[in-house]
Amino acid sequence: MHSTAKIFSGTSSQELAAQICERYGCLPGKINIQKFSDGEIQPVFMESIRGDMVFLIQSTHAPSDNLMELLLMIDAARRASAAKIVAVMPYYGYARQDRKDKPRVAIGSKLVANMLTAAGADRVITMDLHAPQIQGYFDIPVDHLDSSAVFIPYISQLKLENLTFAAPDVGATNRIREIASYFNAEMVICDKHRKRANEIASMVVIGDVTNKDIVIIDDIADTAGTLAKAAALLKEKGARSVRALVTHPVLSGKAFDNISNSVLEELVVCDTIPLKPQLQQIPKLKVITVADLFAVAIRNAHENRSINNLFIHSQRRDM
């Protein structure tokens, strides 16, 4: 006999959580996130969760209140005697701080893992971590979902004639190689060198893109400067069309101008982070929902079933 599953949403993921609940077949749980005048947050569950399996949906993009709110929700659920607490983090913030790449810096993604565990999370469900090895920072189970499950059907319906995939940097080659293999397509690499964060000093294309329909795939678009520069360079090298599919639309700083003024045919993103109102006005920016994916992952976690069927990128397409 399974315990009852209850799904609650934090402030930053209410729209996605509502869609997940609709697909799961339940109503969102009742929770009140109180915010005091000094900025402190106090989540209050407005229904009993004693003995229940509780799923807390919250992406932890900036500001850091989103992370603090999730930690307090976990603590409140633990003190309310939930049987199991699952942190559902469509976007895992601080994932780019995954190692010491220079002296005297924090490893933010490890610290976040420690805090989630210390707060009382029994499991984490997330998507497209910037570095997959972040899963190893946890001593609790982590279900790491892959956006290729929604990207592959989208790419298939485009029916691009000379489909070629582009990795926006060397670090993304494994992800791109798997998707390119699924389509029996070629891949190229945009090798970039940064002067400092969010600023590219130089970029070169490794591979032939002449008359190719290029699809760039990445996990995060922050200022979208890399995407804009890569698209311009690919077109300059002879690409027929360039579009980008990105999981997490952080889209800060000059993102609006960078996307609007780019040569990209379209930028397709997931709804792991809600788009700011200004960004919703960009015609070439499209959103694909990951609600179905998370609803199935939550159901399978509740029923102790495998989530292996959610990973389709490794299956070869019949040609």
Residues annotated catalytic, as ranges: 192
- 281 residue type, one letter: Q
SS3 (DSSP) at 143: strand
Q: How far is CA 13 from the centre of its chain?
A: 12
- Measuring CA to CA, how many Å separate 70 from each of 20, 42, 176? 18, 10, 32
Radius of gyration of the chain (CA): 20
Which residue, 303, 308, 318, 316, is CA-closest to 24? Answer: 303
- 218 residue type, one letter: D
**What gap in Å lies between CA 221 and CA 205, rounded to an integer?**
19
Contact between residue 143 and residue 127 where contact means Cβ atoms under 8 Å apart: no
Write the CB contacts of 189 (distance below 8 Å, at least 6 apart in sequence). Answer: 166, 167, 169, 170, 173, 205, 206, 207
Q: Could you give the residue ranges of the DSSP H alpha helices within the chain?
A: 14-24, 65-79, 108-119, 148-158, 173-182, 225-236, 255-260, 291-302
